[in-house]
Amino acid sequence: MPKLRELMQKMLSDGKVDGHGLVSLCDTLYADDKIDRQEAELLIELHKRVERVSPAFESFFYQAIKRHVLTDGKIDAEEADWLKRMIFADGRADKREKKLIRELKGEATHLCHEFEGLYADCLE
């Protein structure tokens, strides 16, 4: 985790995540082949705070969040609540967040009632 925090600080000081920085971020996050909640939270913080979000980082970010949530293929109430806080942190679901919700619904093997409510809230 210290390496991830150090990498994040460098990217924030550079104002962007692309090229070698994105490769380093990917290598660091997937070193153990999974993204845990703490790593996902740091990734969300980086996504919010970086000045210039490149298309490559945008794509990586949403794939990483999806991979984190679908670790076991299911979305439970706690994960749905976490997603809701992430998506509605700014008070609304944007186009890319709506796409994430649709992809999660399509790829999950089981969805809880709370996720169905989030899905409806995002796409209304």
The proportion of the chain whose per-residue pLDDT surpasses 70, expressed as a percent, equals: 99
- Cα-trace Rg, the chain: 14
Tokens at 108, concatenated: 């999950």
> Among 14-23, 94-103, 107-116, where is mean pLDDT lowest?
14-23
Task: Specify the pLDDT at position 15.
Answer: 87
pLDDT per position as a tens digit, 33-89: 999 999 999 999 999 999 888 999 999 999 999 999 999 999 999 999 999 999 999
pTM metric for this prediction: 0.92
Task: Specify the pLDDT at position 116.
Answer: 97
Task: Please report the beta strands in the chain, taking only residues with DSSP state E, as ranges in sequence order.
Answer: 74-75, 110-111
